[in-house]
Every structure is written in C-alpha cells, then in structure tokens.
Amino acid sequence: MADQNKTPSHTWKEVFEVSGFNLTIIRKLLIPVVNATPFWDPNQPNQVAFSKDVPLDSPGTKLKPFIRLYIPVKLTRKTKLPLIIYIHGGGFISLSVATVGFHDFCNNLAARVRSVVVAVEHRLAPEHPLPAAYKDTLQVILWLKSQALYNIRPDPWLHEFADFSRVFIMGESSGGNIAYHAALRASELDLRPLKIEGVILDQPFFGGVERTSSELRLIEDPYLPLYLADALWSLALPFQANRDHEFSNPFIHGFERVRRVPRWFVKDDEEDPMIDRVKEFVRLLELHKVPVVYRFYPGGFHGMEIENKTDALPLFHEVKNFIYNTGAANY
C-alpha cells in the first residue's frame, strides 16, 4: 500500500514556476499590483472605497514601510465603523496588499461590510520564515493601539471613522493562518483601548504530516495541489521543522488559548483541499465551547473570493452579519 504521507511526485522547478520565483529566489510579478486610490478616480466610475498607503511610524517596526488603509466612499462626519485588520494570502511566500485581487477585495470589504480595513504588508518567506508574518501583524495591532491612545501621529481616516473598540482580525488562506496565530498572541496583551471582538478565517491554511481525505481526494487540485502545499510549508516553516510544527498544525500543540478570542467566524468550500482540516478546527472550537459561526459551501475552490468578485458577495454578507451580530448563527 502506498504511503499516504509522501509528497506527490513534482519538482522544485514546478513549485518555483507556480510561485513566481526563479532558482535564486528573485520574485517576478505573475499578478499585477495597483496603486492606492485616496481620491475619486475618474477611471473608476463605480468606485466604492478610498484607499491610501500609510507609513508605520512606530519605533522599531520591522515591517515594510506601509499598510494599506480603506474606507467606504460617501461617509459622513462622526461615522464610526468597525475596524478589520486584513491579512492577504499567497502561501506565506508571495503577493502583497497591493496585488490587484487583494486590493479589489479590500475595496469591496470596506464598502459592503461598512468597515474600515487595515491591510497588513507582512514579510515573506523564505527570506523571512514564520513567525515573521505573525510578528508583523502583531506590530500592526500595537501600532493601532498607539493610534487609539494618540501616542503617535494620528491618522485622520482612522480617528474620524474607525471604532477602536470593535476590531476584527481577518485573513484568507495563509492570511487565515496568520490571523489565527496573531490573534492568539494579541490575546495575551493589554491592548486597551483597542478591543479585538473576533477573528474571521476564510479558507485558512493549516497543515500536518498525516494526510486528510480531502487532501488525497484533491491531490492534483488546480488551485492548491498537494505538492505545492507541501512546498509552501517547506519554505515558510523554521529550518528543519515538519508540518506538525505548531505554526502549521494547531491541533496537536494545545488548543486552549482559543477561548481568549470572544468570537470566531470560519468559512470554507468542499472543493478546497483544506476543508477537512478546517472542519476539524471548527469541531475543536465547539468542543472547547468557543462561540463560532461556520459556513461550509458545496463546490467552490481555494482562493475563489479573490479571483472572482461575484463569488465574494456571499462572504461579505456573512461577515457583515457576524461583525454586526445579526442574522443566523451556529452558537
């Protein structure tokens, strides 16, 4: 009987071609990046949000020098909106807040959920393996605390429109993994007056040495084949760590800290190779009596909401219900 824990037969050259590397780890842009749009853009007649790149001026930050901040258009003064800290996907090794798919997603997230969105530009593996991205996201959270306390130069958009007492951490794919770990680290700190009310995970990227049924069923998935997932972990995890490291596999290293987060929202699709791991994640949340809203949809694929704006509409609706605590719930 074949060893189900072996990696499918593919080469590192294939991995690098799919990921946008050459053999010396020099990135090439497979997906275009776009500029922020802080003002009305005449080339976008249906513009739904404004965005701008904000330098992080907190001392000692190790981030790249900006976050991308989004607000809906047509806001009135004294409007206070929930604040979403958003972490993009890309397998820990690629893409950016400025990648066109994530930029469009955050524009619509701000507009349709009626929220202020802070998109995190985190360091990338393999040059900066995990936990670098967790630390960078935590640095953004601490920067927002300083904003709430007026300890640093205030950003006018944040202070006019963001409700620092209603903060949510959201991530897609590897960004979901980062959101999970950053939220647990943040839960150990005194962030007042910042208050994290929940975590939103969209197709979170978890792993493990033991294969799941969905990984084997979708072993050559066109969006996240198993050989690529294995390679991403090899590039992102600390040196010589395997997929049962705590950064990859949250299930075998203690799960009690999840109780420190008030509410969770978890979403995945049946044709995502991650679906079995995500269902187990929800099962453990329920076992630990943690409030969780979960949505598992038939069909779909990994990264669908980033690739297709229409596919993202149900997610925006569910996230809005979760943030404003309306609509159907599982808890």
Catalytic residues: 173, 272, 302
Dihedral of alpha carbons 199, 203, 204, 206, sign = positive
3-state SS, residue 231:
helix
Neighbours of 270 (CB within 10 A): 16
Long-range contacts of 125-128 (CB under 8 A, 24+ apart): 125/92, 125/93, 125/235, 125/236, 126/25, 126/93, 126/235, 126/236, 127/25
> In this structure, what token pair is assigned to residue 92?
């820990």
Taking the CA atoms of residue 224, residue 264, residue 135 and residue 72 in that order, the dihedral angle to the nearest 10 degrees is 90
The end-to-end CA distance of the chain, in Å, is: 42
Cβ neighbours of residue 301 closer than 8 Å, sequence gap 6 or more:
221, 222, 223, 269, 271, 272
CA–CA gap between residue 123 and residue 127 (Å, rounded): 8
Report the run of H or E that residue 318 belongs to, with start and end.
helix 309-323
Report the run of H or E that residue 279 belongs to, with start and end.
helix 275-287
Rounded to 10°, the helix 226-236/12-19 angle is 80
> In this structure, what token pair is assigned to residue 299?
């069909």
Closest CA to 281 of 250, 316, 312, 314: 250
